[in-house]
Structure 1
Amino acid sequence: MSRAMRALALAVLAASLAGPALATERVYFSWNTEPRLPACDEGSVRSAVAGTFARADADYYGGRMIVTLDRVAEVSPRPGGVSPLARRYCEGRATLTDGSVRRVYYKLVEHAGFVGLSWNVEACLAGLDKWYVHDARCRTVRP
């Protein structure tokens, strides 16, 4: 290998090692632009929350599904923190098909969708998580 090729290889190696040290804003590659996650009350998010319960086993929620989702509010935004993935914690009031009204807690996570290309939602209906998938008080989807 010639000296020029060796010098070029060394320069490329040095540049690739210095790159992560210079990246202070974003520590990973992302196609997402700001805002990285949709708002808690957007239609796509409401549909995703309702769809989560519609896809669940019919016996798990006793055949109940969400009819309306209102009084939606963002509880705590987490644009990064320890993880570089943005998270948004939300809660609302869900009216179910049996007429009952329950609190619904949900978490939006960046890059948690299909093959990591989009956001995903994890949701919990308070008092109806009989197998404690999200803890007795839905703590896994709350800040």
Structure 2
Amino acid sequence: MRDLFFIARKISLNVALGMLFGLFVSGQAAEAANPLELNFWLSGPKYDGRVAPCEAALGTITSQFEEKESTFWNSALRITAYGRIHETAFRPWQSDNIPRRYCSGDVMLNDGRVRRVHYSIIEDGGFAGYNQGIEWCVTGLDRNWAYNPACKAAGP
């Protein structure tokens, strides 16, 4: 009796596998795309490498920093001045990637402390790919650890 149960179980497993294989074999064959599926009107991104200089992002960083500190951290910190702004890299990876300019510098906050800021300007990195986007990090104030450790992930 025990052998009969074992044989029945083995046969049902083989039948199930056979049916599964049959579904794969009898599936529809792959066909080439018709002209409407070719997406001939989508040419893809054409990056020119036109990225603004480092100084162009400072106003955006100032306003975004103040908004982030007041909205999310209930803080009155503001950036009052910048110094030693310089480019650290431009397109540091292969040329097929989205062009970015990496910059660093010092910021003076309204609490009297000077901190480092690291940021990148990204071609077509703004909202919905329109305009240039900016990602930034002020060392010591990356409270949600988005660019940890010590804003190192904000650099190239």
Q: Is the structural similarity TM-score above 0.5?
A: yes
Match of residue 53, structure 1, among 65, 85, 88: 65
Whichever structure has more helix as a proportion of its residues is: 2
8 Å contact from structure 1 (residues 71, 93) kept in 2 = yes
Q: Residue deviations 1:37-67, cap 9 Å, x none?
A: 100023xx11011122012042638321111
* 2:57 equivalent to 1:38: no
Identity between Structure 1 and Structure 2 (%) = 28
CA shift in 2, pair 1:101/1:82, >3 Å: same
Matches within 5 A, 1:122-141: 122-141=135-154
For 2:45, what is the secondary structure of its paired residue?
coil
Instruction: Give the CA deviation at 1:112.
Output: 1.1
List gaps (5 residues or longer) in structure 1.
Answer: 1-12, 17-26
8 Å contact from structure 1 (residues 75, 90) kept in 2 = yes
Computing the radius of gyration from Cα coordinates, the structure with the larger value is: 2
Q: TM-score, normalised by structure 2?
A: 0.64
8 Å contact from structure 1 (residues 67, 96) kept in 2 = yes
Q: Residue deviations 1:96-117, cap 9 Å, x none?
A: 1111110111011111102101
Q: Residue deviations 1:60-109, cap 9 Å, x none?
A: 38321111112100001117626531011100110011111101110111
8 Å contact from structure 1 (residues 70, 93) kept in 2 = yes
8 Å contact from structure 1 (residues 80, 87) kept in 2 = no
8 Å contact from structure 2 (residues 51, 132) kept in 1 = yes
List gaps (5 residues or longer) in structure 2.
Answer: 1-34
